[in-house]
Structure formats: C-alpha cells, structure tokens
Structure 1
Amino acid sequence: MRLTVLGGCGAWPAAGQACSGYVVEEEGFRVLVDPGYATLPRLLERMGAADVDAVLVTHGHPDHCADLNPLLRARALADTPAAALPVHAPPGALDAVLALDKPRMLASSFTLRELSPGTPQEIGPFRLDVFDLPHHVPNAGLRLTGPGGRVVAYTGDTGPSAELVSLAKDADLLVAEATYPERVPDEDAPYLSSALDAGRTAASAGVGRLLLTHLWPDTPAEPALAAAAASYGGELSVAAAGVTLDLR
C-alpha cells in the first residue's frame, strides 16, 4: 500500500506547490483523494488522467476538490474518452465544481456516489469507512484498509471530535489536518485543527506514522513538527509534493 502526496497547502497553493491531494495505491488500483488546487499537473507527472480508478473527496471547499474539473475534462475530451470515473463525496459537496461546465460536456465522464458515515464500502481492493467530522461544511473523515490489513486514515479538515480516535485507531498512517502549529483562532476552533491536536490524536489512537498536512501556505514546517512531537513519539513528517510513503 502506497501513498503519494500531490500537495499539502491549506487554503491556496503557495508558489510551486499544490493544495490537498493524495494518491493511495494497492494492487495497481489508484484512488485519488481530494484533488485540490494545482494537484492535476502533479498527478499527470506520475500517471495519465485515465489511470485514476476512483476519487474520494472529503468536502466541498475548492482547496480539496477544484482540480476535479480539469481531471474530468482530461478524461472526457481525450481522443479516446476514459470510462466513467467513480467519484465519492458528501451529498452536495461537488455541486459547485461540477457546475463549471455544461452538464452534457462531462456527464459521461463520472458517476457520483455519496459517502455515508457508518456504512463500509468496497472501492477496488480497499474497504472504506467514513466518519462525520466537524468543519465549516460537511466533512468526511476517511479510513482506507487494504487487503493486507494496512490502514491509511485521513481527517480532511476537522475541528475537535471524539470520532478522530476511532478514525485513526491503530492506523499505519494518519494524514491529519494541521493548519496551525499550536492554537487555532477562536472563530475557527470548532472547525480546524492544529499540529498539537494532531499529535495528541495520533498518540491516543496508537498510529504508526503521522503526516501533517494543510499547513497555512508559506509557513515553515518546524513549528508544526515540534508541536506534534510534544505528545506523539512516532514517525512524523509534513506533507510535501512528491513525498511517497510505502506501508509494509
């Protein structure tokens, strides 16, 4: 099971970077998670648009889903159009991005499926468990389990929730939103997390590795790493384009 980071900036892509975007691979099956701003060019450096087998979107903010539009265009407008791409998202999360083109232009390029907390789904070789986590808009925490039992858990963007430990329990890798190093401003405290929060979640859940993501653009990684390490003693890093983690 392998995870490749396409981008990890929160809100907007810093120069030369991209927003949230990850590819999880198992047995040749490729799941694109959160195709945020500027992730498509990085994806296309590694594979063709037609090589994506499924898309998972945690929520409808554009830094997590805007590049779904050019991905679908690349598949639909190719000389040989790709098969319809399964796209999984919370209800209504993709209404805006799917409305960027006339419906008939992309209609055959995807099939839209709702993410339902509490109802496991099979996506290729993966079992997907979905968790309802607090954010400014509906947000789905994702737990992907491969056939060998390896687990990648991903928070999307989330505020404090008891569900986070269940999402991340004994995961081999937790990809955790950490917009701020230690303190989330009061107005966003119910809806976003810090690296300090992510470290505590990872420690409580017994996570094997912690990957901090969604840091505020152009901020250094060191304060986030130090904050998470205050409570989490495992392998720790920050999401950056091109980082690949193999889970064995």
Structure 2
Amino acid sequence: MRLDVLGGCGAWPTARQGCSGYVVDSGGFRLLIDPGYATLPRLWEREGGVDGIDAVLVSHGHPDHCADLNPLLRARDLSDEPPEALGVYAPVGAVDAVLALDKPGMLADAYDLHEFGPGQRFEIGPFRVDTWLLPHFVPNAGVRLSAEGAVLAYTGDTGPSEDVPRLAREADVLLSEATYPYEVPRADADFLLTAHLAGGYATRAGAGHLVLTHLWPGTDRDVALEAGAASFGGTLSVAEPGLVVPAG
C-alpha cells in the first residue's frame, strides 16, 4: 500500500498547494480520497490524465474535501472516450451539492454513488474500509483502510475524540487533521485538532508514521512538525504535494 499526497492545505488552496487530496494505491488499484479544491491539476500532473483512478472516497461534505469531484467527473464524462462509471463512496448527502453543480443528469453516467453512514464497514476494491463518526461541523467519517497486510488511517477533519486512537490502532500510517500547531481557537476547539494532539493520539495508537494534514493556510510547517514531535517519537511528515509514504 502507498499514499501519494496531492494536497494538504486546510480551508482554501494557496499558490503552493491544493486542499486535501490523497491517492492510496494497493496492488495497482488507485483510490482517490477527498478531492478537495485544486487537487485535480496535481492529479492530472502525476497521472497524465484522470482515467487511472478506480474509485473515490469522501470523508465529509466540506468543499475543501470534495469540490474537485465535479471537474474530475466532467473530465472523464466529456472526453472522447469516457471511461466506465467511477465508484464514489461518501457519507449520506455529503456530495449532493457538488453533484448538483451541473444540470440534472448531465454527469449521471460518470459515477456510481455509494452512500454510507459513518460506523459502517464495506469494501472498495482490495481495501477493507472501517469507518468512525468523528466530531466536526458536519458529519465526518474517519476511515481505516486495510489491504496487503497494511493499515492506513485517516481522520478526515475532526475535533478531539477517543475514537481517533481506536481508528489508528497500530496503523502503519496515520494521516491526521492538524489545523493548528498547539491551540485551536475556542469557538472551533470541539471540531479541529492540533498537531500536538495528533501526535499524542498517534503515540497512544502505536502508529508507525504520522502525516499531519489540513494545516491552516500560512502555517509554518516546521512549527507544525515541532508540535507533533513534542508528543510523538515516530516518523513524522507534513502532507505536501509530492509526498509519497509507503505503508507496510
């Protein structure tokens, strides 16, 4: 299993990188997780097109995690030789707004929507997917992907929760929300994490590699790494375009 980072900026894209977007590969099956703002150009750059993606998994309905699903489907459906419908897995209602951007039925042949409730278990290609409902402003699914004897856990966006270390138990890679280095503003404290708390969760879970993502635009990556390292002694990275992390 391998994680390829397309972007990891929270809230909105910057000139340097797009928002959340990740490709997880297992045995050649390529699962796109959270096609957020400005991730499609990076996907196109890395893949040379959009036909190589086998399925999409969306953690929640905020546009910095799913907005580029629309141009992805357009690029596939409006091509000279459209590929088969793309499996899209998302919490109930999470991608309704994105799918409604075009006239009704325009992209109907481009996708096959599979909605789920966080807490359900299902399969996508070679991946077993376990999900948890984690606290955020909208329903958010933390996901645990298992394949090839490896485990990758992803929080989506979340606030503090005892389910995070359960989600990440002995995971090879924990891809964790870490909007702020040390302190979340009080109004958002129940719905977002710090890099320091993410590090503590990774330590409790026994995760091998912690990847900090969803950093607030303009956050100094070195400060985020410092905050994560203060509570986690394992391998530590920040999600940035081009980062490749093997799992297992």
What amino acid does structure 2 have at the position aligned with 1:82?
P
In structure 2, the residue matched to 1:80 is 81
1:37 equivalent in alignment to 2:16: no
Contact 1:115–1:140 (8 Å) recurs in 2: no
Structure 2 gap ranges (5+) = none
- CA distance, structure 1, for counterparts of residue 183 and residue 223 of structure 2: 12
Per-residue Cα deviation, 1:84-112 (whole angstroms, up to 9, x for no partner): 11101111111111111012210110011
Contact 1:133–1:141 (8 Å) recurs in 2: yes
- CA distance, structure 1, for counterparts of residue 43 and residue 125 of structure 2: 19
Using the TM superposition, give the Cα deviation of residue 170 of structure 1 relative to its aligned residue in structure 2, in angstroms: 0.3
Contact 2:5–2:244 (8 Å) recurs in 1: yes
1:177 equivalent in alignment to 2:177: yes
1:20 equivalent in alignment to 2:20: yes
Structure 1 gap ranges (5+) = none
Contact 2:122–2:130 (8 Å) recurs in 1: yes
- CA distance, structure 2, for counterparts of residue 220 and residue 194 of structure 1: 13
What amino acid does structure 1 have at the position aligned with 2:13?
P
The 3-state SS of whatever aligns with 1:151 is strand
In structure 1, the residue matched to 2:190 is 190
The 3-state SS of whatever aligns with 1:50 is coil
In structure 2, the residue matched to 1:165 is 165
Using the TM superposition, give the Cα deviation of residue 162 of structure 1 relative to its aligned residue in structure 2, in angstroms: 1.1
- CA distance, structure 1, for counterparts of residue 118 and residue 134 of structure 2: 10
RMSD over equivalenced CA pairs, Å: 0.9
Identity of aligned residues (%): 63
Using the TM superposition, give the Cα deviation of residue 119 of structure 1 relative to its aligned residue in structure 2, in angstroms: 2.8
Using the TM superposition, give the Cα deviation of residue 118 of structure 1 relative to its aligned residue in structure 2, in angstroms: 3.3
- CA distance, structure 2, for counterparts of residue 179 and residue 117 of structure 1: 22
In structure 1, the residue matched to 2:90 is 89
Using the TM superposition, give the Cα deviation of residue 128 of structure 1 relative to its aligned residue in structure 2, in angstroms: 0.5
Using the TM superposition, give the Cα deviation of residue 116 of structure 1 relative to its aligned residue in structure 2, in angstroms: 2.9
Alignment coverage as a number of residue pairs: 247
The 3-state SS of whatever aligns with 1:104 is coil
Per-residue Cα deviation, 1:37-87 (whole angstroms, up to 9, x for no partner): 000010011222121101000011100000000000011001011111110
In structure 2, the residue matched to 1:105 is 106
- CA distance, structure 2, for counterparts of residue 220 and residue 210 of structure 1: 17
In structure 2, the residue matched to 1:202 is 202
Q: Matches of residues 78-157 of structure 1 in structure 2 within 5 Å? A: 78-146=79-147, 148-157=148-157
What amino acid does structure 2 have at the position aligned with 1:230?
A
Q: Matches of residues 202-241 of structure 1 in structure 2 within 5 Å? A: 202-241=202-241
Q: TM-score, normalised by structure 1?
A: 0.98
- CA distance, structure 2, for counterparts of residue 115 and residue 32 of structure 1: 17
- CA distance, structure 2, for counterparts of residue 14 and residue 21 of structure 1: 14
Of residues 183-192 and 110-119 in structure 1, the stretch that sits farther from structure 2 once superposed is 110-119
Runs of 4+ in 1 over 2 A off after TM superposition: 115-119
